[in-house]
Amino acid sequence: LHRHFERGALSLRAEAFRTRNRGNAVNALDDENSWAATLGARRDLHHDVILIAEAAHIRSDRVDRFRLKAPSTRPSNQFRISLRARW
């Protein structure tokens, strides 16, 4: 989803993905199912200066994480802010 405003924009994105491992050294327990949601914002501060912010939440599920003594489901959050200028 994307929405434009007079001096910027907002966007929302959701994704689902999975990995499947193949080979002799791995098994099906190493496969991973994941999803992510991302919210982004852009603000035009000046005709040559733009502020961009993004927040992402990722959740992955891998059964075989117990080998690492970790929970099978692992959430992760990422935040990014950037200031872009043209000249």
Residues 6+ apart with CB under 8 A from 70: none
Residues 55-62 have a mean pLDDT of 90
Which tops the pLDDT comparison, 7 or 53? 53
Nearest to 14 by CA among 40, 53, 32: 40
Q: What is the pLDDT of residues 12-57, one digit of tens each?
A: 999 998 888 777 777 777 788 899 999 999 999 998 999 999 999 9
pTM of the model: 0.71
